Structure 1
Amino acid sequence: MTTPHSAVPERSVVDRTLSILGAFDKDNRTLSLSDISRRAGLPVATVHRIVNKLQLWGALERSADGAYSIGLRLWETGSLAPRAATLAERALPHLVTLQAQSSAAAILAIREGAEGVCLGFVSCDAEFSGRWGDTGRRLPLHATAVGLVLLAHASESVQKEVCSGPLKAYTPHTVTDGALLERSLTKVRREGHAVMRGTLTEERDGFGMAVRDSRGAVIAAVGVFGPVEVVQPLRLAPQVRAAADAVARSLRADGSRATEVGA
């Protein structure tokens, strides 16, 4: 009788390839072969073989010192995603207006699984931009105003997944208790907006509202993030609501369709 070499099934070529691509993120844009091996949990020989094929196709690029980064062809492919590209394009003029009106960073985000994804960001806040302002940056749903809006309108299963934790504490003010987070989501649905006080970065607050399609389904969230003295909900609510409504109107006028966040 043949004895299996391992009780763990071998990962498919697709799984290994995705693990290699997933090794790169906003904080790890350039990686050596050994870095990729460690982050992907794969042998160096396996990584070397797959990386060579990805480089030939253009998904990865190799620098003069032998390090790898995401290639232009993969970026071109990713830019075709209609859910992100159309939303970002239609929202940008309204984010620029919102930033000018509010003097705070203006953000557009969608939900991807149990995380938010920044699709648009306009800011003069260099400190915040350097840490969270990249387009494509993953945003914690429980610690940002736009994230809380998206989570409040997500499916019950997604809400349960996030609230069951663990919930990372970014500051002493971050909500890390699942029951308290659930109550916050109820409040967001009741009031129509989310307010976050120093939960992602101390001394900076956030305010967010939903972007809805023609059926009323939430497809994204627009918000602002800035110093405590700038983010005043009563003053900002009309501005953020106007931006969210303008994005929604742009999408409807263009005939664009987006996926609701509860899906």
Structure 2
Amino acid sequence: MTTPHTGTPERSLVDRALSVLSAFDRQNRTLTLSDISRRSGLPLATTHRIVNRLLSWGALERSDEGSYSIGLRLWETGTLAPRCSPLAEAALPHLMELRARTSAGALLMIRDGLDGVCLAFAVHGPNLPVGRAESGDRMPLHACAAGLVLLAHADEAVQNQVCEGPLRAYTPATPVHGAALRQALAKVRREGYAVAHRTLEPDCASLAFPVRGAGRAVVAAVAVMAPADTFQPAKLAPLVSAAADAVSQQARSATSRPRTAL
């Protein structure tokens, strides 16, 4: 189907609904109807119809003031993603123990395309000065230790796509040249872990080890993030390695466990 007078394809209902949902992000959790229309690029009347449909299903919720936010039913559906929920549940106790033993923020990350996605995060306290993340946050693969671990074990095509850039400089220490990044990835594969110092935030450092699933394939990374001035990789490495190994063991057990017949 084409739009009148233009001959350009009309966006499908699914595309338009996804545009409405994509209007929400970490910085825009609550939006008015006009906000959604502007951010999705849809006419206000079209936005209104789609929002009402999503509202009736539970994908959106409406406040007493008339603004909209992501609905609980959509969140419930998202937790069914097979790469997310079981792995995060298996990792959380180990992340909490790692946090307690290191006084650093501990996280679990997987790769989604060219981004890292934080599945679970255990923070040492409410006022952690650096490296604060939330479940669902996306992080650059080239600028943090967990991302380097995931990228180092990704397919060659993915590595080439990232290394050929452009690579964003988050701080002066961020690797922005493909050759330097390739050397860093080779070091990760050789040493078995990654360290990133002031590459994502100027006052933050991180260290990560891989989580291995069936067939020893790297499926995630466990990392700690702490203030760069007091960061001690030699002391942190055995603790992070033990946590990653524990998560790996549970991940492999979960995939090999037979399902109970209903």
Normalising by structure 2, we get a TM-score of 0.91
Whole-Å Cα distance in 2 between the matches of residues 255 and 156 of structure 1? 26
CA contact (8 A) 1:23 1:36 kept: yes
Partner letter of residue 105 of structure 1? G
1:15 aligns with 2:19: no
For residue 27 of structure 1, report the CA deviation from its aligned partner.
1.5
Deviates more, 1:174-183 or 1:243-252: 174-183
Superposed CA deviations along residues 189-231 of structure 1, whole A, max 9, x for unmatched, are 1111111111111121010110001311000000100012443
Partner letter of residue 47 of structure 1? T
For residue 19 of structure 1, report the CA deviation from its aligned partner.
1.3
Partner letter of residue 158 of structure 1? V
CA contact (8 A) 2:214 2:255 kept: no
Residue pairs, 1:147-158, within 5 angstroms: 147-158=147-158
Partner letter of residue 53 of structure 2? K
CA contact (8 A) 1:102 1:230 kept: no
CA contact (8 A) 1:104 1:230 kept: no
Match of 1:136 in 2: 136
- Helix, strand or coil: the match of 2:135? coil
Whole-Å Cα distance in 1 between the matches of residues 126 and 63 of structure 2? 28
Superposed CA deviations along residues 14-51 of structure 1, whole A, max 9, x for unmatched, are 11111111111111111111211222222222111111
Q: Structure 1: where are the runs of 5+ without partners? A: 258-263
Whole-Å Cα distance in 2 between the matches of residues 144 and 180 of structure 1? 15
CA contact (8 A) 2:146 2:221 kept: yes
CA 63–82 in structure 1, closer or farther in 2 if over 3 Å, else same: same
1:40 aligns with 2:55: no
- Helix, strand or coil: the match of 2:88? helix
Match of 1:244 in 2: 244
Deviates more, 1:71-80 or 1:156-165: 156-165
1:84 aligns with 2:89: no
For residue 129 of structure 1, report the CA deviation from its aligned partner.
7.7
CA contact (8 A) 1:210 1:220 kept: yes
Q: Structure 2: where are the runs of 5+ without partners? A: 258-262
CA contact (8 A) 1:106 1:123 kept: yes
- Helix, strand or coil: the match of 1:5? coil
Partner letter of residue 210 of structure 2? A
Match of 1:226 in 2: 226
CA contact (8 A) 1:207 1:231 kept: no
Alignment RMSD, CA only?
2.1
Match of 2:110 in 1: 110
CA contact (8 A) 2:88 2:119 kept: yes
Whole-Å Cα distance in 2 between the matches of residues 55 and 3 of structure 1? 27
